[in-house]
Structure 1
Amino acid sequence: MFANSDSTAPRPAEPKPVLAIDFGTSNTYVTKCPGDREDPVGVDFGDGRDGIATALLYRADKESLIGHVALEEFGDAGTEHDDYRIRAQFKPDLVSSAEARRYARDFLVGLLALARRQNKDIAPLQRQVIFGVPSEASATYREALRAIAQEAGFGDVKTVDEPKGALYFHLQRKDITPIEALKGALVVDFGGGTCDFALVVRGEIRHSWGDMHLGGRLFDDLFYQWFIEQNPEAVAAMRRERAEFFVQAVRCREVKEKFSLAMALDPTTVYRRNVGDYGRLHDMTWDAFLARARRYRPSATFAQYLRAMNPPAGAHLDSFAQGLDLLDWFRQTLRQGLAHEQVRHQDLACVILTGGSSAWPFVADIVTEELKQIDPRHIEQLPRLVHSDRPYVTVSQGLAIVPALQRRLAATQIDLRRELPEFIGARIAPLIERRMDEAANRIAEQVAVGLFDERIEPILRRFRQEGGSVVDLKSRIAEDAAAFRPQLEAIVTTQLARVLNGVAADTTELMQDWYRHHRLTVDQGLTHAGTPVDMADGLRLANLDVYGEITGVVLALSTTIVTVLAAAISGGAGTALVMSGPYGLLIGALVGLIAAFLAVRYGTDEATHRAEQWEGAPLWLIARVLSDSKIAHLRDDLKDQVVDKVSAQSEQARQGLEGQISARVEQDIASLSAINQLW
């Protein structure tokens, strides 16, 4: 009913939705995502599986087929269609082969056509389109891919390094924290046609290396050779049907992926699998696979394909005629980059394994072994490995959420800074005060028991019974107080460690609740129980001088007692014994006479000195000064002073911890800001 006064104000433009494409050697993964929500959805092109096979089937006088349909059609056709030509694994060869570029364009054209037929809402011209590329890819490769995509109908696309997509994926899933994302991550992308390593620091690729030819397709060929060795009769059938490349690139890849999964679950498994209708692989074991991987030679089928698609790569493969250790190739490729200065001196927070071939058990083993070699002295501090249960979709989904994630993180920065004072004042400050009060009372009680009850009180009671000079009493108390010093230090250290670790755990829990509301994760280092002054990475309390304060109280205790005794003997103000009844007046009069006599004869200072040296003080006088109630009062006074000293430090502790929490939150805010500049 009422007009909105802001109705004429221009509204900010709605962010465009995103279409992210991980154009892979074996499979291509397409993900769409709203521009304002981190809600990535993988596009299923009718096969009920993630991704679509990067394969193209040319058919004379008919429209080309793409994906798994193309592979199955070619596999089922046999010799019925002489005009069928299957093309796959062309992504790595875009720069060197005009044919590969044509195949890539035709595949992407077919992808859009298939989406339209299936009413898949991908509409690239109405979306931000992002293509992932290996960080090792050259500028020529990136430009070729952009030109191919534009020609295919995807418009003006943006190319982003695939390792950044993997980083965003795990950041959004809270597998890694913003600080870890910026501190340093080694991304290992082992896919179907490439093996790509990248050091990512503060969102930038500091160093990248790899091999555009080392990838899953070499292992496909390994399984193909394994198959024809066990099924030599299948060769004639495959040649007759011109299906050798299809079996090598498709059927054997399917067996390889299933075998890899089975070995990851149980490396003692004996595996068996049909290879289409051509035969069966049997008695496959992990040891047998390793033996073959260490003496791999390319098959004639694969070598012929590679020479036709990429002559330099084919020539490179010919150099392996004497055999190649695929596992060592992976190891040496990794080692080459780890020896680089940028990597060797970088404090890595995590290692991200991505790509379909990263699921091989040997990948994590080799990565861990090589990282240990960088600095064997700190093998217990190796960066943790982060691996998705679906590593093949991490890149496309990570790239798809970038705009929405950046919008959220920008808003989160504002919210964290606004909420920080209230979080500290309402939740952290009461926590520290409560914990420090508990510690103060525990320390005071333990000091009272260990020092007063077990050491000082027996001295006082013996003095009350036997008498002696005050100066001797003072000496004995000082000696026992000095002897108690190690025990006092242990009490303070133990209790402060306990309270600081408690504060660390409680603070972590409170920050986790707060951060969880903003869909963030607290650095796990906060839960580490360390020393009292180093209880967690980045969360250090001030070095509290509680021990020194308590030592002062203990050493002053003898002076307190002596002052009471000497003042009573010498008649000091405020110490006269006032008791009710005639008997009390008599005692008071005697004390007064003694005090008056000493003061008149020697003066007040000298009287006090002589009182300390006097060994003839009557026991009844000492008993009155050191009555049970007075001794109990001395104990209570000691506890109160210890509590006061510890509590006085709680303000220092509170300020120190609050300052560090503020610094930690500001560091996270700065990390979020830096993440928004990743591309």
Structure 2
Amino acid sequence: MKTIGIDLGTANTYLYGRDSASAEPLPLILPRISDEKGCIATVVLYEDSKPLLIGNIAESEYYANRAAMPARTLRSQFKPEIAHADSGAMLWMTDFLRQLRAALPQGVLEPESRIYVGMPSGTREDFSLNLSRCFTQAGWPRPAFVRESDAAMISCLQSGVLDIDDLENRALILDFGGGTCDFTSLESMDVLQNGGDPLLGGRLFDDLLFQVFCRGDELFRRDAPGCGYEYYLHWIQCKAEKERFSDAVGLDGADGVSLHAVWHDARGNRRDAYVHNYTREDFIRDAENYVATDSLRAMLSQYADRGGLSPQARDLLQGRRIGLLSWFKSILAGIDGRRDMAKVILTGGSSRWFFVQDMVGELFPAARLAMSRRTYEDIAYGLALYPVLAESHAAARALLGEKIEAFAAQACEVARNIVAKHAAFAVRLCTERIVDRDIMPVLEEAQKARKTVEEVERAFVENIRNDTGLMAVIREKTEALREEIQYELQQRFRAWLRQNGVPLAPRFEFPARALSKDFFDAVSVKVSRLAFLNIMDFMASAVLPAIAAYAVAGAIAHTGEPVSAVLGGGAAFAGVWGLGKVAKGFLWKRRLPGFFLTESNRRKIVQKNKAYIEAALGKAFAEVQASLADDAERRLHRALEAMLSRLTVLNQVRCARP
């Protein structure tokens, strides 16, 4: 086959092969070594320290041939120790892979075959280096390693359980398998968090069911522990009953299930053990008061001296009582952004437990829950599909590299237009606020108190300077600007990618926040300097003379105010309005007559100043826009280049669907 994907699990191994780019991956069934679904027990049977058998037949032979048992050893659970280059684990893994290669049907492994192997979340680089050495020593081609979370995601996307649009939001892939519990949190193709526990897995529940049989059946309790067929009962029979019980209470909703184990004693007599009406409540009680058997602790003894274990794992290895369900819940509770999670995908055999779905629903209230259609085979299937995606990814990457400049130019133009729109809106809002809050009240007060021009202008300046609401207006428009740039450019980016053959948009951090911060800072400075716009210069030289020309004579006639009391003498009054530009200087220290600031005249003064302020702010904001346009172009180019460098193979997944 052209491609072979290997999910080398702690408890079980799965292989999927693919003949050509157009073919769908198919499971590799190895007679006697695997079951009918392709599941291969990750175990090696040794006789006199020489590897004899692997897989399911190794477990059966170890149990069946008691006469040879003293010379035989069954090795399992060695995969995690590869990361530490444990010499025993390296030997067992190499022997397992050598026997696995020998068991492949004729013609499956070709000279040009490419091997893809899953890499668990959060493992050290040493894991892949050491495992690669085991593969090559066993006669395999040097493998390529892909994160198991990526492989599971490819499988879920291909099957339709996970949709491309789901990845635009935050999603969680929870892999609860036979040996470990792993999770990967993603958003827009970026891995936000990896985690889990290397000791929490289905094997603990196998052990729990073994104890249930020991407690509930006298014959089992007397004969099974320590006998030659304990391994078979403990890890094969109890595993099968565990899965049947899990399906019954989870999928069928059964209140109680009768458990049954069967074996043959040393004389060949059949033995049967029963536990009747084992309920969901019984299981929860036992799981929350679990103490590992000596057999399980011996199997996991290599972990005892390792650092980084969770408190529950340490208690497990030391034979203390722990809560298995509480342990699982604590892992979920440690996932960041739980309330923002839009979708949770469950994969791995142990994810079928009823309590898994219950806890996910409780801790991820906003998430939609989906069960993978290939619960056990997701990783191997995704690995076999991976290279086809990698090839199309390379072509798409080259295409995007050629056209990225075109989108950058388009994006810059969009950003400039959005900034211009929000700047114009901000000018209008600021102008209206200045007029309503900072100018009109001063004029109303001046009409009553007969203030001088100097006092009126100083009041204008102080009001504008102390108007914190202006900054609130600008801050509100800044946030609206940021949101619109982010949304509009993201939508255009997705459409542009799809037009160029990339249906899944990667996470692209548009510099919207940086642009909006620049906008806020620049506009804030301009508004804070409105005190220097010489508002009263305009009012005194262009507004007051026009008002006085038609209002002064009638107003004086009706009020009877002496001109000399207002403007310092008739001669001055006769020529003041012809002075134009020097009118302000003439009025500076003189009190304005009440009739200058009537309601009608105040409206005219305000309208003139409103137009003046709006024009001045418009000019100031135009300068801000010009500066931002250059910055936006530079920032967008850098962001696009960074995105292109992070473009992943998963962007091509829909193209490869059979």
2:380 to 376, 396, 407: 396
Q: What CA deviation, in whole Å up to 9, does each residue of 1:260-293 have, x standing for no partner?
A: 6788899x99652533563346135443333453
Partner of 2:237: 251
Aligned partners of 1:229, 1:271: CA distance in 2, in Å? 17
1:558 match: secondary structure: helix
Partner of 2:620: 645
1:20 match: secondary structure: strand
1:432 match: secondary structure: helix
Instruction: Tell me by how many angstroms 1:105 deviates.
Output: 4.8
1:233 match: secondary structure: helix
Aligned partners of 1:438, 1:411: CA distance in 2, in Å? 39
Q: What does 1:400-415 align with in structure 2 at a 5 Å threshold?
A: 400-415=384-399
1:275 match: secondary structure: strand
Partner of 1:563: 541
With over 3 angstroms needed to count, the CA separation of the structure-2 counterparts of 1:553 and 1:291, relative to structure 1, is: closer
Structure 1 unaligned regions, length at least 5: 1-15, 59-63, 151-155, 181-185, 339-350, 368-379, 572-576, 578-592
With over 3 angstroms needed to count, the CA separation of the structure-2 counterparts of 1:500 and 1:358, relative to structure 1, is: same
1:158 match: secondary structure: coil
RMSD of aligned residue pairs (Cα, Å): 6.4
Instruction: Tell me by how many angstroms 1:551 deviates.
Output: 3.7
With over 3 angstroms needed to count, the CA separation of the structure-2 counterparts of 1:469 and 1:142, relative to structure 1, is: closer
Aligned partners of 1:21, 1:654: CA distance in 2, in Å? 51
Partner of 1:490: 472
1:546 match: secondary structure: helix
Partner of 1:54: 41
2:294 match: secondary structure: coil
Q: What does 1:8-87 align with in structure 2 at a 5 Å threshold?
A: 17-33=2-18, 40-43=25-28, 51-54=38-41
With over 3 angstroms needed to count, the CA separation of the structure-2 counterparts of 1:567 and 1:363, relative to structure 1, is: same
CA contact (8 A) 1:165 1:397 kept: no
One-letter code of the match for 2:537? T
TM-score (norm 1): 0.60
Q: What CA deviation, in whole Å up to 9, does each residue of 1:582-608 have, x standing for no partner?
A: xxxxxxxxxxx97995699xx998775
2:415 to 432, 437, 446: 432
Partner of 1:375: none
**1:445 pairs with 2:428:** yes
With over 3 angstroms needed to count, the CA separation of the structure-2 counterparts of 1:168 and 1:195, relative to structure 1, is: closer
Structure 2 unaligned regions, length at least 5: 46-51, 263-271, 307-314, 335-343, 553-570, 652-658
CA contact (8 A) 1:297 1:321 kept: no
Instruction: Tell me by how many angstroms 1:503 deviates.
Output: 2.0
**1:518 pairs with 2:514:** no
1:659 to 606, 610, 634: 634
Partner of 2:209: 223
Q: What does 1:162-181 align with in structure 2 at a 5 Å threshold?
A: 164-167=147-150, 169-170=152-153
**1:416 pairs with 2:396:** no
CA contact (8 A) 2:14 2:377 kept: yes
Aligned partners of 2:429, 2:119: CA distance in 1, in Å? 65
**1:289 pairs with 2:255:** no
Aligned partners of 2:197, 2:135: CA distance in 1, in Å? 19
One-letter code of the match for 2:284? D
One-letter code of the match for 1:638? I
2:293 match: secondary structure: coil
CA contact (8 A) 1:24 1:91 kept: no
One-letter code of the match for 2:380? S
TM-score (norm 2): 0.61
Instruction: Tell me by how many angstroms 1:19 deviates.
Output: 0.8
* Overall identity of the aligned pairs, in %: 18
With over 3 angstroms needed to count, the CA separation of the structure-2 counterparts of 1:33 and 1:668, relative to structure 1, is: farther
CA contact (8 A) 1:29 1:50 kept: no
One-letter code of the match for 2:488? D
Aligned partners of 2:77, 2:150: CA distance in 1, in Å? 23
One-letter code of the match for 1:323? G
With over 3 angstroms needed to count, the CA separation of the structure-2 counterparts of 1:25 and 1:124, relative to structure 1, is: farther
Aligned partners of 1:463, 1:188: CA distance in 2, in Å? 71
2:17 match: secondary structure: strand
Aligned partners of 2:92, 2:439: CA distance in 1, in Å? 96
2:141 to 157, 163, 177: 157
1:274 to 238, 247, 259: 259
Decide which moves more: 189-198 or 121-130: 189-198
One-letter code of the match for 1:223? L
CA contact (8 A) 2:28 2:38 kept: yes
One-letter code of the match for 1:53? I
Q: What CA deviation, in whole Å up to 9, does each residue of 1:626-658 have, x standing for no partner?
A: 586664343233334334433442343444344
Aligned partners of 1:269, 1:655: CA distance in 2, in Å? 67
CA contact (8 A) 2:508 2:639 kept: no
Q: What CA deviation, in whole Å up to 9, does each residue of 1:350-390 have, x standing for no partner?
A: x99986457779999999xxxxxxxxxxxx9xxxx999775
Q: How many residues align?
A: 552
Aligned partners of 2:542, 2:393: CA distance in 1, in Å? 66
With over 3 angstroms needed to count, the CA separation of the structure-2 counterparts of 1:109 and 1:444, relative to structure 1, is: same
